[in-house]
Amino acid sequence: MSSPLTYSEDYIAGILRSVKTIAMVGASANQIRPSWFAMKYLQEKGFRIIPVNPAAKEEEILGEKVYASLADIPVPVDMVDIFRSSEAAGEIIDEVIRLKEKLCASVVWMQLTVINHEAAARAEAAGFKVVMDRCPKIEYGRLCGDIGFMGVNRRIIDNKRKPLGAGRGALSRNALGQGKGQL
């Protein structure tokens, strides 16, 4: 059994602060799919999410044109978010590496339960920052305080709000931690 993947809050927050446009591989128009929820939340926080899904029958998801592959995206992206299996992630990461100049991406993010150490090593060797087994929606919400009031970032679920100013707003735009929900 491998040890849990750990990333510092500074590493995750640094990525989320620097990223503006995300290519979401495996995005779905199905409103009960996790990718739809993540896309909607991140759009509401100001990120542009470009859906990538070769099987999508829709021309748009949440107002964004769907592309069949990363190669079809006509604009630069900062991050590729992979909502596919660990096995599929290897091939997707190889495509990201091949398209590095075209995409301009600097981050490869693999969603919850998506872990591919070999592909991650290839991406890191090609100069990408890599995150595995995490959700940018969850990490953003945890760091900016959106979900902290439920105790999620303390790993204890309860209905008690933290005292005002107690560790909230790691991604807030101001020093006092106000502006909950904003990067």
Instruction: Choose which CATH entry (3.40.50.720, 3.30.70.270, 2.60.260.20, 3.40.1410.10) describes domain 9-135.
Output: 3.40.50.720
Average pLDDT, the chain: 86
pLDDT digits (tens, 9 = 90+) for 121-135: 999 999 999 999 999
Percent of the chain beyond pLDDT 70?
78
How distant is the alpha carbon of residue 81 from its chain centre?
5
- In the chain, where the domains are located: 9-135
Q: What share of the chain is helix, strand, coil (3-state, %, to 5)?
A: 35, 15, 50
What is the distance between the alpha carbons of residues 108 and 23, in angstroms, rounded to a whole number?
Answer: 10
pLDDT tens for the chain, 183 residues: list them: 344 689 999 999 999 999 999 999 999 999 999 999 999 999 999 999 999 998 887 799 999 999 999 999 999 999 999 999 999 999 999 999 999 999 999 999 999 999 999 999 999 999 999 999 999 999 999 898 887 555 554 555 555 555 555 555 555 433 334 444 555
Q: Which of 127, 44, 132 is nearest to 81 (CA)?
A: 132
Structure tokens at 4: 């849990």
